[in-house]
Chains A and B, each alone.
Chain A
Amino acid sequence: MSSVALVEIAKSFGRQPALVGIDLEIADGEFMVVVGPSGCGKSTLLRIVAGLAQPDRGDVVIGGERVTHWPPARRGVAMVFQSYALYPHMTAFDNMSFGLEQARASRAEIDRKVRWAADILRISHLLERKPRELSGGERQRVAIGRAITREPGVFLLDEPLSNLDAGLRGHMRAELIELHRRLKVTTIHVTHDQVEAMTLADRIAVMREGRIEQVGPPLSLYRRPVNRFVGSFIGAPQMNFIAVELRGYADGVLVVGLPGGAELRMPIEPEHRFAPAASVEAGLEIGVRPEHLIASNGGKADLAGRIRLVEHLGSATLLHVRCPGIEADVRIQLPGIVSWQAGQEIAIEVPAAQCTIFAAGVAIAHGG
């Protein structure tokens, strides 16, 4: 078992930069999820940790050793590829034993370890099958099994669940958590699915265009995104963004006006306090999550509008509300089934304690 540190990793393909100065530390036994949209460089990052690609700059440190130029096999890492990349001509058993065989383990040891992994993953009855005789979920397990039989110090997973259907994905998520609890192997799990990130991670690193935007525990990213991108990427349904105007700024407290005229007062984060009000005004927005907006019954009404669409999710209901002065629909998520209907007028309360204020895309104030 090993910690992993990435130090100023940069990598370009031709003139196209894929990674731009990545710094990331993963503690021994931690489950780190790297999340970001397709093409942001997640796979490239993982391949550099594995040693399948060389960074142009920077270092990879595993278990305290600088392994940047070590061959993959020596690094003690195992990887589960997005396509699983099982050896098509070998049985599940041979797929799982191949690495041990290369390490010249004894026949008895190979047998013991493969059966141990198969037992954990509940694929003992599938060991004699070839990959083409397995379902998607079963192939997935064999691929994970192949990775854990070698008892790696670091476990790398490249979008391992993205090829599974929704039901199976939820199931495998739970199994991955269970597996990690059991084996306590340092894990870097890459995904574009923020739900996967939220449910699996000890900590999440959000990536965009070759950079890490924010690193932290899931709920801290959910509550206190450092910028608009993280705010919109983490959490579903997506955060609402509402352009606001600056009304006042004194003693570190910002007063902003919503399009309807209502005002919100929020203390600015200490590190942004030096920002003069004039520059803060550039593209001022509040971000608020649909589940935090309140349908106001005669109470405080910060926004008002007409319901355009009602989405019944069963456990919750999502209202799309057209508000004068706001470009996109404001989305409100209410618990359970509600009687609101499209076409009705609705008043909305915006709790300042749940809002984030962004200036030119950067978070400068958090209500919570």
Chain B
Amino acid sequence: MTVRWLLARGGFLLVLGGFLFYAVFPFYYALISSLESGSGLFEPSVLPRSATIGNYAAVFGEQPFARSILNSFMVAVGTVAATLFLAALAAYALGRIRFRGRRGVLFTVLTISMFPQVAVLSGMFELIRALGLYDTLPSLMLSYLILTLPFSIWVLTAFMRELPDEIEEAAILDGASRLTVLTRILAPLIAPALVTTGLLALIIAWNEFLFALTFTLSAEARTVPVAIALISGSTQHELPWGIIMAASVIVTVPLLIIVLLFQGRIVSGLTAGAIKG
């Protein structure tokens, strides 16, 4: 309890406070702005002066925003399901079965995640057109796998590797097939990692903009990020910030709730593996 201790403590809190401000303030500001009306928007303040839900009503009134939310939801869920299924299968092979070229495959997977999205855009577009998926939700699920699979496979492979061989061998002696070993024994043991990668995939799929803009055209297939970008004012020179902010809040809140719900599992996912079953 010396001066040094106080300084260290104070410094730590200061850094923490700064970081918190940096992370949370934009969202707070969006929340405030979404509750303002008219010209109030352009006079910055920390506390809202008026609180109207006019902007929120406008979000749903001026376009099929509910439809966009539903689309985003379906795309996100589909992407997460496909990601976890494929990544778990791949991780089982890459993490637990010895075969020639295993490292090569792992590094190829890593390389894929290094391409910028624009670089694959035109090729992906051709693929989606060829498959007849243009302007449909599956086109987005398919393209998002490029973004979600590489890190999911890497994380799950690392976790699979940590599991002791003998547990798997015990299951094989018990007469379990490979698929049963994966679903009944290994997957439950890496559940925290599945939750963590699933959440990251969910966030990516929910927020993705470029693919969604390119591969969909109609309002029926539009997802939330695109819908927000397309919100326009009554004249060309007016940006309806209030409505955009309201829309942003609407789509951020469910994500926040989900992440907070799974928070405990995420933390254990990031630190597990050190503990032996």
Interface residues of A (CB under 8 A from B): 50, 52, 72-73, 77-79, 81-83, 85-89, 98-99, 102-103, 131-132, 146, 150
Contacts and interface: CB of A to CB of B under 8 A. Distances in A.
B277 A99 contact: no
Interface string B152-184: 000000000000101101111111100010001
Contact of B170 (A77, A79, A89, A103): A79
Contact of B173 (A50, A86, A132): A50
A99 B195 CA distance: 28
Secondary structure at chain B's binding surface: helix, strand, loop or mixed?
helix
A132 B180 CA distance: 23
Contacts of B174: 73, 98-99, 102, 146, 150
Nearest to A102: B175
A89 B189 contact: yes
Nearest to B187: A89
A79 B167 contact: no
Given A85-B164, A87-B185, A88-B189, A98 B171 contact: yes
Interface string B256-277: 0000000000000000000001
Contact of A102 (B164, B166, B167, B180): B180
A81 B170 contact: yes
A85 B189 contact: no
A50 B175 CA distance: 12
Given A73-B174, A73-B175, A99-B174, A81 B169 contact: yes
A87 B173 contact: no
A98 B171 CA distance: 8
Nearest to A156: B173
A102 B176 contact: yes
B185 to A, nearest CB: 6
Contact of A52 (B173, B180, B277): B173
Contacts of B172: 52, 72-73
Contacts of B17: none
B188 interface: yes
A79 B171 CA distance: 11
Contacts of B185: 87
Interface string B65-97: 000000000000000000000000000000000
Contacts of A82: 166
B166 A87 contact: no
B173 A98 contact: no
A251 B45 CA distance: 116
Contacts of B189: 88-89
Nearest to B167: A85
Nearest to B170: A85
Contacts of A77: 173
Contacts of A79: 169-170, 173
A131 B275 CA distance: 14
Contact of A88 (B176, B180, B184, B277): B277
Contacts of A146: 170, 174
8 closest A-B pairs by CB = A88-B277, A99-B174, A85-B166, A73-B175, A102-B175, A85-B170, A89-B188, A81-B166
Given A72-B173, A86-B167, A87-B171, 5 more contacts: A73-B173, A73-B174, A83-B164, A98-B176, A150-B174
A72 B169 CA distance: 9
Nearest to B166: A85
B191 to A, nearest CB: 8
Contacts of B277: 88-89, 131-132
Contacts of B184: 98
A85 B189 CA distance: 13
Contacts of A99: 173-175
A50 B166 CA distance: 13
A77 B175 CA distance: 11
B277 to A, nearest CB: 3
A79 B172 CA distance: 11
A150 B176 CA distance: 13
A87 B164 CA distance: 11
Q: Which of B170, B176, B277 has the most CB of A within 10 A?
A: B170
Nearest to A89: B188
13 contacts: A73-B172, A73-B175, A78-B173, A79-B169, A79-B173, A86-B167, A87-B171, A88-B277, A89-B277, A98-B174, A98-B184, A146-B174, A150-B174
Nearest to A131: B277
A286 to B, nearest CB: 44
A146 B167 CA distance: 13
Contacts of B164: 83, 85
A78 B176 CA distance: 13
B62 to A, nearest CB: 50
Contacts of A86: 167, 170
Interface in B23-45: none
